[in-house]
Amino acid sequence: MGKKTTIAATRKRSINTVAVVKSARAASRRLASSGKVGKSSGSLQKRLEALEKRLQRVEDIQAIQRLQHAYNYYVEHMMKQEIIDCFADSPDVLLDWIEGKWKGKAGVRKYFDVSQVPPIEFRHQLMPIAGLITVAPDGLTAKGRWYAFGGIMMPPPEKGAEATRSFISGIYEIGYIKEAGIWKILSISWVIPYGVRISGGWILPEDIAGPLLEGKSIPGAPKIAPDMPMDKNDLRYVTGYIFPFHFAHPVTGKPTSEAARNARLHPINKP
């Protein structure tokens, strides 16, 4: 079964569960109002409780998936405050990285030091895929396992040096906890089975947009006149641009900081 098929099946089960729960609730109310309380009513109540538990589990898994996906979007550009806010306040919080371990929310703040803003050229894209989430019977904690694959671009440590560019394949084992009804990250264990160095470097936004802004066309591409021409001040053509998020932070509910980070950038070919 493909990923799209699995997601569609999960959504269908969720929708069906919601419909059945609503139907069962309505039937329960009708029985209660009629005064007919007996074995059938008790059986219906048990069924309703079981369905509500199933619905809650589906909603928990969806909330955890949303949290995890948001976390990795923030990691891509090392949006440190947003990353920190994904973690629980529990003293059991743990970052188990290859280079060492950091404990508690204080350890998370230490590792993701907000006073150190990453260079514009930095990119740490790790896409969480093949997620398998197991919610504990009490519904208060969960575990998740994910592949994390993507491209990493580390700026050179000094002028004239080469930037580090690579593809990396990692595996997460992540713990989650529900605090005040909101799912948060409790722990992350991480391993890197392999990576690949890119000797030729990346093709950057400027490499793609630069020739187009000069009136050149992409070799082999059909020449179709746009309804609106390219905007030379569009920051999408610049390395380091963070494509704005349509969603608020899944834990805090606050807007994210990409606008402030993008304010450091200048349009292509402008100092």
Q: Can you tell me the distance from the alpha carbon of 102 to that of 187, in angstroms, rounded to the nearest whole number? A: 10
Number of other residues whose CB lies within 10 A of the CB of residue 2: 7
Q: Establish if 165 belongs to a structural domain.
A: yes
Which residues, given as ranges, of the chain have pLDDT below 50?
Answer: 1, 3-7, 10
143: helix, strand or coil: strand
Q: Establish if 208 belongs to a structural domain.
A: yes
Backbone angles phi, psi at 130, to 5 degrees: 55, 40
Q: How many domains does the chain have?
A: 1
What does the pLDDT read at residue 220? 80
Q: Establish if 267 belongs to a structural domain.
A: no
Full domain range(s) for residue 24: 3-262
**pLDDT tens for residues 118-134?**
999 899 999 999 999 99
Q: Establish if 186 belongs to a structural domain.
A: yes
What does the pLDDT read at residue 183? 98
Q: Establish if 210 belongs to a structural domain.
A: yes
Q: Can you tell me the distance from the alpha carbon of 149 to that of 130, in angstroms, rounded to the nearest whole number? A: 11
Rg of the chain's alpha carbons, rounded to an integer? 24
What does the pLDDT read at residue 269? 76
C-beta of residue 133 within 8 angstroms of C-beta of residue 175:
no
Q: Establish if 270 belongs to a structural domain.
A: no
What does the pLDDT read at residue 170? 96
* Domain harbouring 244, CATH code: 3.10.450.50
* Helical (H) or strand (E) element with 96: strand 94-97
Tokens 């929310």 correspond to 105
Q: Establish if 162 belongs to a structural domain.
A: yes
Q: Can you tell me the distance from the alpha carbon of 17 to that of 11, in angstroms, rounded to the nearest whole number? A: 10
pTM (predicted TM-score): 0.83
What does the pLDDT read at residue 4? 47
Beta strand residue intervals within 56-214, DSSP E: 94-97, 100-103, 123-124, 127-135, 141-154, 164-179, 182-197
What does the pLDDT read at residue 106? 97
Distances in whole angstroms, Cα of residue 11 to Cα of each of 8, 76, 100, 146, 151: 5, 28, 39, 20, 30
Backbone angles phi, psi at 74, to 5 degrees: -70, -35
Q: Establish if 103 belongs to a structural domain.
A: yes
**Three-point CA angle 75, 59, 172, nearest 5°:** 35
